Amino acid sequence: MQEKLNISNKILTRKNLIYLIKKYKTPLWVYNANIIIKQIKKLKQFDIIRFAQKSCSNIHILRIMKDYNVKIDAVSLGEIKRALIAGFKPYNNNIVFTSDILEKNVLKEVVKKNIPVNAGSIEMLHQLGKMSPGHPVWIRINPRFGGGHHIKTNTGGDQSKHGIWDFMQAVSIIEKYHLNLIGLHIHIGSGVNIKNLYRVCESMKNHAIQLNKKIQFISAGGGLSIPYKPQDKEIHVNDYFKKWNNVKKKLISTLNCPIKLEIEPGRFLVGQSGILIAKVHSVKKTQTNIFILINAGFNDLMRPVLYGSYHEITVLHKNITDIKKIPIIRGIVAGPLCESGDIFTIQETGIILPRNIPEVQPGDYIIIHNTGAYGSSMSSNYNSRPFIPEVLYEKKTFRLIRRRQTIEEMLSLELPI
Ligand SMILES: *Cc1c(COP(=O)(O)O)cnc(C)c1O
């Protein structure tokens, strides 16, 4: 039975889950477009919403964004191609390339298509300036502080490789090459607490005033967190918007030009839309622990092992039972990989963290929730396990949006021998 849960994903009925498991087999990602659309609408006060596609880069997800007027951020040539295939046109600032380096093939593509570049290093400005004078650029500012749910997701401050430290140096190089500075951007990390997010407003204001030139855009970056744990609260988007809107108004009057306010979320738009369904294959007892071994590993969902991230876990029993009669055990949910860190209930330190879970047996299913962001897009072929399928629920139907990779496809890159 599907348990309790403050998860407002109405498609997760027993009937639907059994249908999906039968049709597509496990392990399997499932997304609910309605949740993505709901999240987009929460941000509608911002002039521009730009989706950080690295959080969930399936082209069908990108197409939903496009349908709802969300623009797109790309951080690699592959992501630019994804955006183009999803139907984003490379003009009107629809696609912005954000990076800290510019590889040759990327440089060629952004110049050819006139895609604005959000520069995170001085070298990028030199490269662009030499090859494409007048090119539209943003400066990604390192505001000299950062934030994030984990040290690995902090993208500002002295310890971060991201963004430009010496703002005025970037400005003078932009002037030297007559690059077209269209916007200022600050993104300090992912899963940032609200206090640090508010500090960004202040920093943006100060930098823009220091710049003292007309610009078209300011971007608040991403980083908005979502509730992962039952006690986590939703972020107050309205308050956040108001703070940024005040910055915008101030800059419009100080710089005496129209300015559009962008927000650039990844997690916030897609995180809650996705689940990972996996099958229980073994329940092992050691002296003190119960390991529930499932057929998805950190090659599929990396967040727990990488950050010690918490994801809600529920159980779908193969046979209908009265869930209230099933005893709760202290279980550790683990994957199939040949690596002892392949655990989904784990602390940041790598220490296992048993969780209250209704007792399961081989043949039952585990559902890992809120995996829409940094789930599939971070997957690997580690242990030579193929990429698993993705299914999208949209307009009242389930549809395969990425098929399961075959082992032959995976090996083909190395053949012939
Ligand atoms: C990753 C990233 C984002 C999105 O971060 P979230 O925490 O998923 O909102 C936004 N902007 C840039 C430049 C990023 O690298």
Domains located in the chain, CATH noted: 44-264 (3.20.20.10), 271-411 (2.40.37.10)
* pLDDT tens, residue by residue, 41-73: 999 999 999 999 999 999 999 999 999 999 999
Ligand 1 binding pocket includes 74 (Cβ within 6 Å): no
- Prior bond to 265 cis, omega within 30? no
Cα end-to-end distance, the chain, whole Å:
48
CA 157 to ligand 1 center in whole angstroms: 16
* H helix count then E strand count, the chain: 12, 17
Contact 275, 315 (CB under 8 A): no
Ligand 1 binding pocket includes 222 (Cβ within 6 Å): yes
Percent above pLDDT 70 for the chain: 98
Contacts of 128 by beta carbon, 8 Å cutoff, 6+ apart:
102, 107, 110, 111, 117, 119, 135, 137, 177, 179
Q: Is 303 annotated as a binding residue?
A: yes
CA 98 to ligand 1 center in whole angstroms: 10
Q: Is 267 annotated as a binding residue?
A: yes
CA 224 to ligand 1 center in whole angstroms: 9
* pLDDT tens, residue by residue, 20-34: 999 999 999 999 999
Q: How many Å apart are CA 55 and CA 270, to the nearest integer?
A: 8
Total length of the chain: 417
Ligand 1 binding pocket includes 149 (Cβ within 6 Å): no
pLDDT of residue 7: 53
Which atom of ligand 1 is nearest the CA belonging to 265? 9
Ligand 1 binding pocket includes 120 (Cβ within 6 Å): no
pLDDT of residue 2: 42
* pLDDT tens, residue by residue, 246-283: 999 999 999 999 999 999 999 999 999 999 999 999 99
- Residue to mutate, 264, 267, 370, ligand 1, most ligand atoms under 8 Å from C-beta: 264
